[in-house]
Structure 1
Amino acid sequence: MFEDLKAIDGVGAKTAERLAELDDPREALEAENVAEIARAPGISDGRAARIVRAAIRHRHDDSGEFLATDRAEELYGSILESLKARAVTAYGEKRLETFYPSASADRIAEVRAFTERAVEREPSPEILEALSGVEPLEAPRDVQVRDRCLATNDAETFSEAREAIPEVSVELIEDARGIADLARGYSTVIVLDEAFSGVEIDGDVRVRPDALSDPTEIVPERALAFFARNGDRLRAAAAVHRAAGLEAPCDLDALEGALERLEGDGSVTGDEQLRRLGTAIDDLDAAVSMAENAANDRLREAIEKRDVTIEGTDLLSLVERGAGVDSLLERELADEYAAAIESARKRLLGALELPDHESLARGAFNEEPTFPVEHDERVIERLREELIAERDRRAARLKQELAERLGELRDPAEALVGAALELDVELAVSRFARDFECTFPAIEGEGIEIEGGRSPLLDVPFEDVEPVDYTVEGVSLLSGVNSGGKTSTLDLLGVVVVAAQMGLPVPAERARVQRFEALHYQAKTQGTLDAGAFEATLREFGALVESDRTRLVLVDELESITEPGASAVIVAGILESLTESDSTAVFVSHLAGEIREAADVDVTVDGIEAIGLENGELRVNRSPVKNQLARSTPELIVEKLAENEGAPFYSELLGKFDAEGD
């Protein structure tokens, strides 16, 4: 779909080159796979999320201009942070950053389909615990195999081999003599040229012209290192699938069984014969020494207990022949010596636990009598070489078998982890929907209609937030007492629209939202603006009313930009222009009455009504009343005094408010 990666906003030539190093960057972008994009060199997780988001916009021809003001961006940021806070994995957090409010109906529908499935997920503690160990799979670093090499006399094959199997050394040779030289330095030499078939060379030399077609056979360490590096992540992903009841892409028992046989360094464990060989090699010198000492102790004890009498003529004969203690042992203690040697052999064999090497091991102790008993070092070295060779052969065969077994699981393993990570994204949406008691809005008609809406942005526990009902069509002024909830009502409108156009459920019992092309939210200005800032604000609204886009405009107390009298006239003019445009707008103002009087068109004024004062606390109906100018806090206080005190002064003051309202 992305024929030219540079067509994606923010992807320049260098970034495109980095992405091109991935196996299939276009497929990764289409799948919105942040983890795969982040594997490109020099691309961080955050950068990957931005690239994927830009690719989504490119795919849907989305300008990305929905959030038209800083306050609109802040609302989106708050929603996004709430979502990310409910993800368990770092991947989930970055993947959620690809969710954004869009004006594209296709994009909204695309995410909506995902989130409708997601909210059905049950975020159980077992699943969340298992997810804590899941991370994107990583390629092992610096896998080097130094006991074998590839050899060829063809330059093109040489280059191909270095690229296909970088884990081993590739050597250029001229003839069989070159192979022989390599065989003296490497345990195994794999020759890639058919021309050397039939050449007999000492050592493990294999002519394999097809070797590059099956790297796993030549370098099983590649597959083993990958699974060793990612073993814990795969186990965690398997636990997620079991806890969530997901259909796994492979046999989980088989995968876990194979992982159990793999050590962290990529070696194979769980084979008893390999264990015995390794132990025998490690303990060989100690076992020989112990067997030798035991034989000498036994023979020494036999000598000490034996009275040996040698007649003079026998002694003279032994001396004349130059015989020593060995001859004396052979003559007088032959049985005891034989028993000592046999005990040494049995002790050595018992320590090594290797019956297949009994013949050579028995030869470690010569039957010719000598004292002290000494092992034959040449036999021991031969035995050591045999043990090492057998160990290496067996280890290589076990690696090969396990690598072939795991190699078949590579793609399913990646799918297993990918599904677990995507589940984390779904569960974050589900937890968001549950925590804020959300519902999916109807995206249709004009304006906004909310029933039982509660803003998640308030600094109180969500369960303590009072629900609000409010319907907005066209242009409205929202009036109300201080601290009555006017700003939080604007926030609620913004949150509902942003969440709906992200494709998310919204925090309300029921909602209907028009699909807007842009959200303009003008937050309350702190203090009167200077001339330059005032002019910039007017220019912003001038551009806004001249645009032909379908917009939601939320403005909080614009009158604070200048003097009250001028503010009422300015706001009235802006409302007149918005009334003539394709906009839905809500302006919060304490000057609603004055603005209505200054406007040349009928302007709807809604009010957040104060019910009264109770123990000095203001009681408010948080749901705006349509076509009702809300009474101010001073009016409520005067009304309370008029009722309680009965003095004409308070009644006359109250009458002034009534006259003003008329």
Structure 2
Amino acid sequence: MELEAIPGVGEKTARALRALDDPEATVESGDVAAIARAPGVNEARAARVARGAIRKRHDDAGRVLATDRSREVYRDALGLLTERAVTDYAEKRLETFYPSGSGSRIAEAQAFAADAMDYDPDPTVLDALAGVEPLTDPATVRVRDRCLATADAERYAEAEAAVPELSVETVEDARDIAELARSYATVIVLDESFAGMDVEGDVHVRPDALETPAETVPERLLAFFAENRDRLEAAIGVHEAAGIAADAPADLDRLRDALARLDDDGTIVGDAELTRLTDAVDDLDAAVSTAESVADDRLREAIRERDVTIEGTDFLSLVEQGARVDSLLDRELADEYDAAMASARDHLVDALELEPDEAELAGRVFGGDPSFPVDHDETAVSRLETELAAARDRRAARLKAELADDLGDLREPVEALVRDALELDVELAVARFARDFDCVLPEVVGPDEDGTAEGGETAGFRIEGGRSPLLDVEFAEVDPVDYAVSGTTLLSGVNSGGKTSTLDLVALVVVLAQMGMPVPAESATVERFEEIHYYAKSQGTLDAGAFEATLRDFGDLVEGADGRLVLVDELESITEPGASAKIIAGILEALDGQDATAVFVSHLAREIREAADFDIAVDGIEAEGLVDGELRVNRSPKKGHLARSTPELIVEKLAGDRESDFYGTLLEKF
């Protein structure tokens, strides 16, 4: 798929999308999180790109939502779905479902919804989903104990671009490499021409180093897993809570074990030897200082107890005042001094848990000319620290390489693991919506050329037991509505009888059906409309300019209205009742000559029918009467019935309650 061919994708967005590993496949997948990883593309933009790709794939260039009110109904429908999503990803992913005029797209979305409706929205799974987010790429990690080396200028530029985590050094000969080996724990030489050289230090000649980044710089992979640890653990929890761990794209036990070996900053944890070396480097200075104190205390005690020419306490006073003591210690306390040095060395070895070869280096820290207080050899300390740090870095590098090797083949599976968890949230949102509002998947049929639906069904819509979740009452208290319309129809009824809410229900069911989503009804059949035109009730009579603009809208509407659903709520409010009846009759006449489905709510049904030159179908929401001043209404429109108005019901009630010819005479006028 050519990126610029996707609706809504311009040159700038296409350029950003091409930064993805496989831009066409990623966009085709509809994975909002993956698309959002393109530079400068947020999730909202990614959802629009995914929606555009869906339109392109199904050759769905039309715009079903043709009026502001129909778009409001779509936003309401989408809101009912998204508020049942746990993750931000699911909210954006649900935005890729839109009212479509494409049969293939609706079938695709219905297949998704049908699978989703089989899920049981377990609260444990919903709780686990709260921690799942799309995986992110960490910032570049700088690794300072390792470098790349090359004598080739082009290779140098290639290395800098491919492995920004490592320093890249230029070399001319083995002497340059040997110099680098004294500054870095590990040197990786990229040029095969240096193979076989004998250089002291941890030097590797690896011409393929740039092609094997997991081995060259395992920190990159480890940083990814460390950065996404919480997301991965949450995704593991979702699969386990949902009972789908066995089908997970990654081995969950293996992944959890690998994550346990990794700290939040990408360092290795749980290795006793690495911990020992790290602690030894960190604690070296403190251990040397404590070892000096151990030796000083031992010498101080020996001096106090030693029988020399002058009393020990006087001798100690002289020493502490800075008198030269090397010859005195060597002559009088040689054995005690050696024992003090041995105790200092033993303390250093024990405190740092040094191995025999390391202990040999530690032995050089305390020696030399006798002194009091005891002093250490700074050069020997520096050498010991260098050796310990190098051993630590080599150990860490080996462990990182091993862990990166273990995690390397999990990189793609964990992407799928998190994606599956996020997609499960999308499905559960649909399942929760369907359960909360007693929904069913509708039958969506495409109109044939003769205006009937495929299979001989009547075009239009049929709703049985429909209940609108958009009403300001508890859903359980909403009265079910049965209604079906084919062709053009007037809907009459009493004030507050439910005419507008019936239009809202029809619009909601049709919008959801063409989104491929379940609808709040016991059953429903909906024609696949090319456009949905829903006009809300006008607020008051329009002035001349607004009136003319409204007529222009309806003039455009009746031009080529095949395959459209037209819902209009009390159009008579735009002007005087007499003129309104004539205008509505004219509009209905134009629509009747085309394959359009239209429902016009009006209090002027009788007048419109009289003004029209064809037999207009009239349905009515019939009030059963007044009970304690309140209307009792059958909310399902009655076919072929002109409903009585509220004033007629009130006059009828008064005529029955009171013995007066006045009310009877009034009633006869209705």
Which residue in the other structure is 1:388 paired with? 389
2:472 aligned with 1:459: yes
Tell me what 2:658 maps to.
645
Matched, 1:148 2:146: yes
| Contact kept? 1:341, 1:367, Cα under 8 Å | no
Q: Which whole-Å CA distance do the structure 2 matches of 1:647 and 1:310 have between them?
A: 142
Deviation at 1:268, TM superposition (A): 1.0
Q: Paired residue for 2:29?
A: 31
Structure-1 separation of matches of 2:638 and 2:601: 14
Change in 2 beyond 3 A, CA 1:375/1:160: closer
Deviation at 1:151, TM superposition (A): 2.3
| Contact 2:62/2:530, CA 8 A, preserved across alignment | no
CA 646–392 in structure 1, closer or farther in 2 if over 3 Å, else same: same
Task: Give unmatched runs, 5+ long, in structure 1.
Answer: 312-322, 658-662
> Per-residue CA shift, 1:505-545, capped at 9, x if unaligned?
10011111112111111111111122222222222222222
Query: Contact 2:132–2:234 at 8 Å: present in 1 too?
Result: yes
Query: In structure 2, which of residues 101, 104, 107 is the aligned counterpart of residue 103 of structure 1?
Result: 101
Alignment of 1:391-540 (within 5 A): 391-444=392-445, 445=457, 446-540=459-553
3-state DSSP class of the match of 1:619?
strand
1:379 lines up with 2:377 in the alignment: no
Q: Where does residue 626 of structure 1 map in the other structure?
A: 639
1:500 is paired with a residue of what secondary structure?
A: helix
> Where in structure 2 are the equivalents of 1:476-625 lying within 5 Å?
476-625=489-638
Rounded to whole Å, the distance in 1 between the matches of 2:228 and 2:19 is 22
The alpha-carbon distance between structure 1 residues 325 and 146, as it changes in their structure 2 partners (threshold 3 A), is: closer
The CA deviation string for residues 632-660 of structure 1, in whole angstroms up to 9 with x for no partner, is 11111111111111222112211222xxx
The runs of at least 4 consecutive aligned structure 1 residues that moved more than 6 Å come to none
Deviation of the 1:234 alpha carbon:
0.6
Q: 1:163 aligns with which of 147, 154, 161?
A: 161
Asked if structure 1 preserves the Cα contact closer than 8 Å seen for 2:185 and 2:390, the reply is no
For 1:539 and 1:464, the matched residues in 2 are separated by 41
Distance 1:579 1:18 in 2: 49
SS of residue matched to 1:101? coil
Q: Retained in 1: the 8 A contact 2:174–2:197?
A: yes
Q: Does the 8 Å contact 1:296/1:340 carry over to 2?
A: yes
Matching residue within 110, 125, 128 for 1:127: 125
Contact 1:439 1:507 in 2 (8 A): yes
Q: Structure 1: how far apart are the matches of 2:278 and 2:182?
A: 24
Cα distance change of structure 1 residues 146 and 299 upon mapping to structure 2, 3 Å threshold? closer
Once structures 1 and 2 are overlaid, which stretch shifts more, 552-561 or 182-191?
182-191
Q: Please state whether the residue corresponding to 2:73 is helix, strand or coil.
A: helix
Separation in structure 2 between the aligned mates of residue 42 and residue 556 of structure 1, nearest angstrom: 43
CA distance in 1, matches of 2:168, 2:283: 35
TM-score normalized with structure 1 length? 0.93
**1:16-35 deviations in whole A, cap 9, x for unaligned?**
11111111111012111111
SS of the residue 1:452 aligns to: strand
Q: How many angstroms apart in 2 are the aligned matches of 1:534 and 1:640? A: 38
CA distance in 1, matches of 2:566, 2:475: 26
1:513–1:308 CA distance, 2 compared to 1 (3 A): same
> Is the partner of 2:669 in helix, strand or coil?
helix
Inter-partner Cα distance in structure 1 for 2:285 and 2:146: 28
Q: Deviations over 1:318-357 (max 9, x none)?
A: xxxxx97555555654554444333323322221122332
Match of 1:75 in 2: 73
Q: Which residue of 2 aligns with 1:316?
A: none
Q: What amino acid sits opposite 1:443 in the alignment?
A: V
Q: Which deviates the most, 516-525 or 498-507? A: 516-525
1:471 and 1:16 mapped to 2: Cα distance?
45
Match of 1:257 in 2: 257
Residue among 4, 8, 12 paired with 1:10: 8
Give the secondary structure class of the aligned counterpart of 1:479. strand
- Secondary structure of 1:403's counterpart equals helix
Pick closer, same or farther for the CA change 1:188–1:343 going to 2, 3 Å.
closer
Partners of 1:89 and 1:595 in 2: how far apart?
A: 51
Contact kept in structure 1, 2:465 and 2:481, CA below 8 Å: yes
- Corresponding residue number in structure 2 for 1:280: 280
Tell me the amino acid that sits aligned with residue 304 of structure 2: E
Q: Is this contact kept in 1: 2:145–2:393, CA < 8 A? A: no
**1:338-378 per-position Cα deviation (integer Å, ceiling 9, x unaligned):** 44333323322221122332233234333976544333333
TM-score normalised by L of structure 2: 0.92
The correspondence for 1:66, drawn from 56, 64, 67, is 64
Deviations 1:582-609 (A, max 9, x none): 0111100000111111111111111111
Structure 1 stretch displaced more, 197-206 or 491-500: 197-206
Q: Deviations over 1:364-396 (max 9, x none)?
A: 333976544333333322221211111111111
Helix, strand or coil for the counterpart of 1:553? strand
Checking the alignment, whether the CA contact within 8 Å between 1:338 and 1:367 is kept in structure 2 is no
Distance 2:243 2:496 in 1: 48
Match of 1:318 in 2: none
The amino acid that maps onto 1:619 is: R
Cα separation, partners in 2 of 1:412 and 1:381, compared to 1, 3 Å: same
Q: Which amino acid aligns with 2:355?
A: P
Distance 1:463 1:232 in 2: 39
Mapped partners of 1:521, 1:107: distance in 2:
23
Show the counterpart of 1:347: 347
**Structure-1 separation of matches of 2:537 and 2:561:** 25
Quote how far apart the aligned CAs of 1:425 are: 0.7
Q: Distance in 2 between matches of 1:310 and 1:584?
A: 122
Instruction: Go from structure 1 to structure 2 and tell me whether the alpha carbon gap of 1:289 and 1:392 turns closer, same or farther (over 3 Å shift).
Output: same
Aligned to 2:189: 191
Of residues 38, 41, 60 in structure 1, which corresponds to 2:39? 41
Aligned length: 644
Residues 298 and 155 from structure 1, CA distance in 2 versus in 1: closer, same or farther, beyond 3 angstroms? closer
Distance 1:541 1:371, change over 3 A: closer
Q: Give the Å deviation of 1:459.
A: 1.5
Counterpart position of 1:117: 115
1:314 is matched with none
* One-letter identity of the residue aligned with 1:264: D
**Aligned counterparts of 2:44 and 2:629: Cα–Cα separation in 1:** 50
- Contact 1:441–1:510 (CA<8 Å) still a contact in 2? yes
Structure 1: distance between partners of 2:336 and 2:159:
63
